[in-house]
Amino acid sequence: MAVAQIFVDADACPVKDEVLRVAERHGMVTTFVANFGLRPSRDPMVRNVMVPQGADAADDWIVEHAGAGDLVITSDIPLASRALKKGAVVLGPTGKPFTEHSIGMALAMRELNQHLRETGESKGYNAGFTAKDRSNFLHAFDAAVQRAKRQGE
């Protein structure tokens, strides 16, 4: 079985440093995919992929390259759904996993919230990213990486 890789939807990802720390500790290849603004890395285990500007360019690249057992980090619910269909393990930046059981509700809530914003019923503010969210992500991500490595052995 191939060694699991990590793919990060990096444009607005608040946990890039945490991903790098865990990936380095476990010796895993990490690919950051974004439209802009990636910091170069000299680490051969870190790849930066710049995709053209476009609504789903980064998502499309990740789905094309991620496979079963890989880890995908994103807060983008449609991307999470597509990655799950490829067999990837998907985590949001708060550490919350997207699963086959939860993705349907997540997609429905996304559509409802979008409708409420469009009709003016909701301002669409997102909760701020907290230190607790960062800590939850670190724990969930480290556990997911360990599971992926065990499955790849």
- What is the predicted pLDDT for the residue at 112? 64
Under the banding of pLDDT at 50, 70 and 90, the label for residue 22 is: very high
DSSP string, 15-81: THHHHHHHHHHHT--EEEEESS-PPP---TTEEEEE--SSTTHHHHHHHHH--TT-EEE-S-HHHHH
User: Which pairing describes strands 89-91 and 97-98: parallel, antiparallel, or unpaired?
Assistant: antiparallel
Find, among 36, 43, 35, the residue nearest to 6 by Cα: 43
Under the banding of pLDDT at 50, 70 and 90, the label for residue 149 is: confident
Under the banding of pLDDT at 50, 70 and 90, the label for residue 123 is: low
Looking at the predicted structure, is the pLDDT value of residue 153 above 70?
Answer: no
Looking at the predicted structure, is the pLDDT value of residue 113 above 70?
Answer: no
Looking at the predicted structure, is the pLDDT value of residue 1 above 60?
Answer: no
Mean of the per-residue pLDDT values of the chain: 86
Q: What is the pTM of this model?
A: 0.83
- What is the predicted pLDDT for the residue at 150? 78
Looking at the predicted structure, is the pLDDT value of residue 99 above 80?
Answer: yes
Comparing 117 with 80, which gets the higher pLDDT? 80
Tokens of 64: 């094309």
CA distance 107 to 90: 14
- What is the predicted pLDDT for the residue at 134? 92
User: At what angle are helices 131-152 and 16-26 packed, to 10 degrees?
Assistant: 30
- What is the predicted pLDDT for the residue at 9? 94
Under the banding of pLDDT at 50, 70 and 90, the label for residue 132 is: very high
Tens of pLDDT, residue by residue over 30-64, are 999 998 878 888 999 999 999 988 778 999 999 99
